Structure 1
Amino acid sequence: MADKRNATTGVTTLNGRNRVLATFTFFSMFFGAGNLIFPPFVGAQAGDHTIPASVGFIVSAVGLPILGVVAVSFAGGFERLANRVSGKFAFLLGMAIILTIGPCFAIPRTATTSFEMAVVPFTSDLSRGWTQFAYSLVFFAVSYLLSQHPEKLSKTLGRFMGPLLLALIAILFVFCVIRHPGGFAAPMGDYATGQAARGFLDGYQTMDLLAALYFGIVISANVRSMGVDDESQVRRETALAGVGTGLLLIVIYGVLAYMGAVSGSLASIDPAHDTGATVLTNLTGALFGPFGTAFVGLVFIIACLNVCTGLISTCGTYFQNHFPTVAGHRMNYRRWGAVFTVFSFVVSNAGLSMIIKVSVPVLAALYPIAIVLVALALVDRVFASRFPRVYFWTVLLTGVTAALNCVASLVAVFGGSLPWLDAALAMLPFADAQLGWLCPAIIGLAIGVVASRIRPVAGSSDRD
């Protein structure tokens, strides 16, 4: 239990052991399907330019989520932060994020990715449908059972699953270094040029910035269960766990990107059809044969099970708080968890490639909004609180641009096109780098500053 109490303030803080435990719990909730398949895919495509590509990836896949954890922790929660735009916005964005990191994309992806890594290499195409059905059923049943007590996740994820996952990845990395034949392939696909920028954009695929905005709910519950009862200290401990998680992720992403680069030098891939799962399968198959494939499959199962459990806990807690009753029926945490588990089970059988294709445009719409909110929260005391209307205008123009990009991308995914919309979006500065939302965000910031000066907001903003 926590064993430090300030004699003057009476505030309890976590000791070193429990801070490490909270960090491993946070890490286990973050590190799952996307975190495993995208860094190797970056390395396989970037080849001898893996370092700049990895730096770009780490900035968006680690830097942004950890800043998000810090910003949300000190804002008093994501909803209090989003309320600085408006109450309706906070509700709608919260729902969109929860559904994205939950049953619509991230939760199903955990089962699908682990299945493709651990089971597909040992099954035939004829039996794949029924095998995936059976695997998903068992996978989600175990995750649901582990998620029954979200405030006690530190006892399973923090003490056992997280350290075990790190040990397995370390073993794989050591063998990869020892048996690497030397040399790396030339960059290919999307990484033929502009590797750092491309890596930054692919960092969106981990969904960690969106998850960071709500994972604090579960981590805070675990911190309280360790004896910390002062809310400001709970936020500090949650932020510290986030920073520790960020350091772990930087090391692991670097390791996985290196492994992807090694795999690319052993067996080429087709960036248009293959995934990071293919990259790791090629690597372990070339280095260790069937045993290696089974070993990395175990790594995937553990990582994906960790994240699936954390996501079910997060979504169940969110919906219990916001929708305690539906159509007159009481919906507690476990019932909401069961709903999300069953729905995710159905979606997971759509296949990994389709889940990724559909999720890309949605993430491209949500990420800019989340980035803008976090950035404003980080400068709130020195800037944004003096011009409170910057929240509304910056998010509005960013959101409109991001939504239009999402529509155009989804139409393209399903084989259609909107030439007039594509042409209009292409006119935005930095559109080639898929950062067309930057200029609208800056314009919204300027409008917000002017609007705050002309018509100040009555009363005080929701601040800590």
Structure 2
Amino acid sequence: MKQTMTRADLLGLGFMTFAFFLGAGNIIFPPMAGYLAGENMGFAMVGFLITAVGLPLATLLAIAYAGGGLLTMTRMLPAWVGTSIAIATYIIIGPAFATPRTGLVTYEMAVKPFIGSLDSQLFLTLFSAAYFGLTLFLSLNQGKLLDAVGKVLTPVLALLLAVLGIAVLIAPQGGVPAVSPDYMRYPMVKGLLEGYNTMDTFGALMFGMLIIDVLKSRGVDNVSQQTRYLAVASVIAAAGLALVYIALFRLGGTAGGVLANPQNGGELVAAYVAQLFGPMGSVVLAGIVGLACLTTSVGLTSACADFFHTLWPRFSYKQCAVVIAVLCAIVANVGLKQLLVISIPVLVAIYPVAVALVALTFMRSWFFNQGVAFRLVLSVALLFGSLDGIKAAGFDLSAMNFLPLFDMGLAWLLPTLAALVVSLLWRVPEQSAVTAE
């Protein structure tokens, strides 16, 4: 069996990782943020890149550092807690939100422009069935993911994105939009929060183990080699994502006058591309969106199926993939607008837990009592993150305005940092320490 990878294989692995990340949210959120930020686009983009590129990269590196996925990273917690965190993460990023969103964005941006009056709930249902049927077909053989996604679909996607990015840079189609109120005071913080919506930090928690499984299927069984290849693939993917986001922010930041009062990034990109490329614009956009969302859908479905098969071996990988694909097709029928309304408060609430877990993984050896550190920091992150999530859902939490950074949607940050400091200083032995099995 092959123990090393050629440069072409390694580049394909990096492209595959990039394609897994580049999905629905990565296309619709950056241009809208650039549009709303106006002249403050630069600050907003920096914040967005921190959470949408930096955190996923750090998460993949944390998985490589820990030598495993979510269950390995949470092994300092009681087993049922770690398993519960993993299950919740895979459900959220899988059939509940992220994977159905890829199908909905594909429908809204790559299908609706061509079907006109045929647009209906019935057509959406039929499309969802076909889209997730194709996803299932491509997900059933993990050993061929590198060839199908990394060496075939992604190069085509990269070419289309390069055409769009270069065109946006050399031929902007509008002026600088006015700054929206949300981006007046703290544009970088607003960009940070918008980066949550890509869900890529959660995606990284899933894709890390999927990439390792792909490496195993290619004959790379040495753990140190797996870690090195995963790190290289992560850097390639992060570089690709950063370039795409910069181009899309530039698109939004030069879209003043292109479309009056766009409701979302999908509308904005569609109008911009149509003006940029003329009649061929819809075809170019359909190709970009369709490929980007499909590759992400395949990656998420494969990662979820692999996790649940590993967790419950009595169910085969194929059975898990079929169930996930069916659930995604069902959830997709709620529509894009409703799915986004539901998902954003959930993401705001639980993103701090993912960030804290990554930090704890890198800092684990620094703690005198690792079990106490993990429990304390993650509990604090979840508690204060939940407050941010409840506020994002539209509930009146003005009574909590005394909390530092609460008005900025970052109430979790300082308490979580304080919990980390307390954990570093904690020197009391635990009576029943949690140990790795």
TM-score of the aligned structures, taking structure 2 as reference length: 0.94
1:127 matched residue in structure 2: 119
2:44 matched residue in structure 1: 53
1:10-409 to structure 2, matched below 5 A, reads 12-77=3-68, 78-124=70-116, 127-181=119-173, 183-270=175-262, 274-325=263-314, 331-381=315-365, 383-384=366-367, 388-409=371-392
The DSSP-based 3-state class of the residue aligned with 1:453 is: coil
- After superposition, the C-alpha distances for 1:341-381 in whole angstroms (9 at most, x for unaligned) are 11111111111111111111111111101111111212233
1:8 matched residue in structure 2: none
The DSSP-based 3-state class of the residue aligned with 2:253 is: helix
Taking the aligned partners of 2:256 and 2:431, their CA distance within structure 1 comes to 56
1:430 matched residue in structure 2: 405
The DSSP-based 3-state class of the residue aligned with 1:454 is: coil
Whether the 8 Å CA contact 1:396–1:444 is kept in 2: the answer is no
- Tell me how large the CA RMSD over aligned residues is: 2.1
Task: Provide the identity percentage.
Answer: 31
Structure 1 residues 251 and 384, CA, compared in 2 at 3 Å: closer, same or farther?
farther
Structure 1 residues 182 and 120, CA, compared in 2 at 3 Å: closer, same or farther?
closer
Whether the 8 Å CA contact 1:29–1:307 is kept in 2: the answer is yes
**Equivalent residue pairs, number:** 436
Which one-letter code corresponds to 1:359 in the other structure? S
The DSSP-based 3-state class of the residue aligned with 2:77 is: coil
Structure 1 residues 376 and 385, CA, compared in 2 at 3 Å: closer, same or farther?
farther
Taking the aligned partners of 1:295 and 1:14, their CA distance within structure 2 comes to 33
* Structure 1 residues without counterparts, runs of 5 or longer: 3-11, 326-330
Taking the aligned partners of 1:181 and 1:234, their CA distance within structure 2 comes to 45
CA shift, 1:291, in A, is 2.2
Whether the 8 Å CA contact 2:110–2:289 is kept in 1: the answer is yes
- After superposition, the C-alpha distances for 1:190-248 in whole angstroms (9 at most, x for unaligned) are 22332111111100111000110121121112212333211232122112211221111
* Structure 2 residues without counterparts, runs of 5 or longer: none
The DSSP-based 3-state class of the residue aligned with 1:263 is: coil
Taking the aligned partners of 1:217 and 1:280, their CA distance within structure 2 comes to 33
Taking the aligned partners of 1:32 and 1:116, their CA distance within structure 2 comes to 14
Greater displacement, 233-242 / 307-316: 233-242
Whether the 8 Å CA contact 1:428–1:439 is kept in 2: the answer is no
The DSSP-based 3-state class of the residue aligned with 2:373 is: helix
Structure 1 residues 178 and 128, CA, compared in 2 at 3 Å: closer, same or farther?
farther
CA shift, 1:126, in A, is 6.3
Which one-letter code corresponds to 2:360 in the other structure? L
CA shift, 1:461, in A, is 4.8
